[in-house]
Amino acid sequence: MAKAKPFIKWVGGKSQLIEQLDAQLPADFGNWENVTYIEPFVGGGAMLFYMLQRYPNIQHAIINDINPDLATCYRTVRDNPEQLIESLMDIENAYLALETEEGRKDFFMAARDRYNEKNLDPIKNTTKFFSNIVCRNYNIN
Protein backbone atom coordinates (compact mmCIF):
# COMPACT_ATOMS: atom_id res chain seq x y z
CA MET A 1 0.00 0.00 0.00
CA ALA A 2 1.24 3.49 -0.83
CA LYS A 3 2.20 5.72 2.06
CA ALA A 4 -0.27 8.57 2.49
CA LYS A 5 1.33 11.98 2.86
CA PRO A 6 0.03 15.50 3.27
CA PHE A 7 -1.21 16.83 -0.06
CA ILE A 8 -0.66 20.49 0.85
CA LYS A 9 2.10 22.37 2.57
CA TRP A 10 0.75 24.38 5.46
CA VAL A 11 2.27 27.12 7.61
CA GLY A 12 2.82 25.83 11.14
CA GLY A 13 2.97 22.23 10.03
CA LYS A 14 3.95 19.61 12.59
CA SER A 15 6.27 17.57 10.34
CA GLN A 16 9.40 18.39 12.33
CA LEU A 17 7.64 17.66 15.64
CA ILE A 18 6.18 14.24 14.86
CA GLU A 19 8.73 12.19 16.79
CA GLN A 20 8.51 14.48 19.82
CA LEU A 21 4.71 14.39 19.78
CA ASP A 22 4.65 10.62 19.32
CA ALA A 23 6.93 10.24 22.36
CA GLN A 24 4.27 11.99 24.47
CA LEU A 25 1.69 9.25 23.84
CA PRO A 26 1.13 6.59 26.50
CA ALA A 27 3.57 3.69 26.08
CA ASP A 28 0.72 1.25 25.42
CA PHE A 29 -1.17 3.50 22.98
CA GLY A 30 -0.65 1.03 20.14
CA ASN A 31 -2.50 -1.61 22.16
CA TRP A 32 -5.62 0.46 22.81
CA GLU A 33 -8.70 -0.73 20.96
CA ASN A 34 -11.08 1.19 18.71
CA VAL A 35 -9.25 4.52 19.06
CA THR A 36 -10.74 7.77 17.74
CA TYR A 37 -8.04 10.27 16.76
CA ILE A 38 -9.07 13.92 17.08
CA GLU A 39 -7.02 16.76 15.61
CA PRO A 40 -8.48 20.25 16.12
CA PHE A 41 -5.94 22.06 13.90
CA VAL A 42 -5.16 19.65 11.08
CA GLY A 43 -3.40 22.08 8.73
CA GLY A 44 -1.56 20.04 6.10
CA GLY A 45 -2.23 16.84 8.01
CA ALA A 46 1.34 15.65 8.69
CA MET A 47 0.44 14.39 12.16
CA LEU A 48 -2.87 12.92 10.97
CA PHE A 49 -1.26 10.87 8.20
CA TYR A 50 1.55 9.75 10.50
CA MET A 51 -0.84 8.60 13.22
CA LEU A 52 -3.12 6.74 10.83
CA GLN A 53 -0.18 4.83 9.37
CA ARG A 54 1.69 4.19 12.60
CA TYR A 55 -1.31 3.13 14.68
CA PRO A 56 -3.70 0.74 12.93
CA ASN A 57 -5.82 0.69 16.10
CA ILE A 58 -7.13 4.14 15.13
CA GLN A 59 -10.57 3.30 13.77
CA HIS A 60 -11.95 6.83 13.36
CA ALA A 61 -10.44 10.26 12.80
CA ILE A 62 -12.09 13.59 13.45
CA ILE A 63 -10.29 16.58 12.00
CA ASN A 64 -10.98 20.29 12.10
CA ASP A 65 -9.34 23.57 11.27
CA ILE A 66 -10.33 27.17 11.77
CA ASN A 67 -9.75 27.89 8.07
CA PRO A 68 -13.07 27.17 6.30
CA ASP A 69 -11.38 26.77 2.90
CA LEU A 70 -9.07 24.12 4.33
CA ALA A 71 -12.03 22.28 5.87
CA THR A 72 -13.82 22.46 2.50
CA CYS A 73 -10.67 21.14 0.85
CA TYR A 74 -10.54 18.04 3.06
CA ARG A 75 -14.26 17.34 2.55
CA THR A 76 -13.88 17.74 -1.22
CA VAL A 77 -10.86 15.43 -1.39
CA ARG A 78 -12.79 12.87 0.69
CA ASP A 79 -16.16 13.14 -1.05
CA ASN A 80 -15.46 14.18 -4.66
CA PRO A 81 -11.92 13.20 -5.64
CA GLU A 82 -12.75 12.43 -9.29
CA GLN A 83 -14.48 15.75 -9.89
CA LEU A 84 -11.68 17.59 -8.11
CA ILE A 85 -9.00 15.90 -10.22
CA GLU A 86 -10.91 16.80 -13.37
CA SER A 87 -11.20 20.43 -12.25
CA LEU A 88 -7.51 20.58 -11.35
CA MET A 89 -6.59 19.15 -14.75
CA ASP A 90 -8.81 21.72 -16.47
CA ILE A 91 -7.15 24.64 -14.69
CA GLU A 92 -3.68 23.18 -15.30
CA ASN A 93 -4.38 22.71 -19.00
CA ALA A 94 -5.77 26.24 -19.34
CA TYR A 95 -2.75 27.67 -17.53
CA LEU A 96 -0.18 25.67 -19.53
CA ALA A 97 -1.87 26.61 -22.82
CA LEU A 98 -0.94 30.24 -22.19
CA GLU A 99 2.30 31.09 -23.96
CA THR A 100 3.51 34.13 -22.08
CA GLU A 101 4.39 34.74 -18.46
CA GLU A 102 2.20 37.83 -18.55
CA GLY A 103 -0.75 35.74 -19.73
CA ARG A 104 -0.11 33.17 -17.00
CA LYS A 105 0.15 35.89 -14.37
CA ASP A 106 -3.15 37.42 -15.56
CA PHE A 107 -4.75 33.96 -15.47
CA PHE A 108 -3.56 33.39 -11.91
CA MET A 109 -4.69 36.84 -10.76
CA ALA A 110 -8.16 36.31 -12.25
CA ALA A 111 -8.42 32.89 -10.58
CA ARG A 112 -7.28 34.37 -7.27
CA ASP A 113 -9.79 37.22 -7.53
CA ARG A 114 -12.58 34.71 -8.25
CA TYR A 115 -11.48 32.57 -5.28
CA ASN A 116 -11.45 35.61 -2.99
CA GLU A 117 -15.11 36.33 -3.80
CA LYS A 118 -15.92 33.30 -1.57
CA ASN A 119 -19.04 32.20 -3.42
CA LEU A 120 -17.76 29.15 -5.31
CA ASP A 121 -19.02 25.59 -5.13
CA PRO A 122 -16.73 23.23 -3.16
CA ILE A 123 -15.00 21.78 -6.26
CA LYS A 124 -14.14 25.18 -7.75
CA ASN A 125 -13.23 26.60 -4.34
CA THR A 126 -10.83 23.71 -3.64
CA THR A 127 -9.34 23.91 -7.13
CA LYS A 128 -8.56 27.60 -6.69
CA PHE A 129 -7.46 26.98 -3.08
CA PHE A 130 -4.87 24.48 -4.37
CA SER A 131 -3.72 26.82 -7.12
CA ASN A 132 -3.22 29.64 -4.61
CA ILE A 133 -1.17 27.38 -2.31
CA VAL A 134 0.98 26.10 -5.17
CA CYS A 135 1.66 29.61 -6.41
CA ARG A 136 2.44 30.86 -2.90
CA ASN A 137 4.84 27.97 -2.21
CA TYR A 138 6.67 28.59 -5.48
CA ASN A 139 6.47 32.40 -5.29
CA ILE A 140 4.37 32.60 -8.45
CA ASN A 141 2.32 35.79 -8.59
Q: Each residue of 7-38: pLDDT tens digit?
A: 887 777 788 899 999 999 999 999 999 999 99
Confidence of residue 134 (pLDDT cuts 50, 70, 90): low
pTM over 0.85: no
CB atoms within 10 A of CB 60: 9
> How high does pLDDT run on average in the chain?
89
CA–CA gap between residue 76 and residue 66 (Å, rounded): 16
**Residue 105 CA, distance from chain mean position:** 23
How much is the pLDDT for 6? Answer: 84
